Amino acid sequence: MTVNMDAAICFKLESELKDFLEDMADSKDMDLSKYCRYVIGIGLDEIYKRNLKIRELEIQL
């Protein structure tokens, strides 16, 4: 799969968080952009899973 880098999302965050993300990316031998996509992907997956659980509970009620 080819990833087209034709869009941008900018985050304004604390310098400490940026430093932390850079350190984590370096420790995983990834560039910062790729690591941020990885972290955001995990977060979105978790939100999706929680939404599914909520829907299941709503159906039961």
Write the Ramachandran bin of 29: left for phi over 0, alpha for psi from -120 to 50, otherwise beta: left
Model pTM score: 0.69
**Is 12 domain-assigned?**
no
More confident residue, 61 or 21: 21
In a domain, 56, yes or no: yes
Q: 58: domain range?
A: 31-61
Structurally, how many domains does the chain consist of?
1
Residue 55 lies in a domain: yes
pLDDT tens digits for range 3-34? 777 778 888 889 999 999 999 999 999 999 99
Instruction: Look at residue 52 and tell me if it is in a domain.
Output: yes
Residue 8 lies in a domain: no
39 inside domain: yes
Q: Is 37 within a domain? A: yes
Task: Reduce the DSSP state of residue 28 to 3 states and report it.
Answer: coil
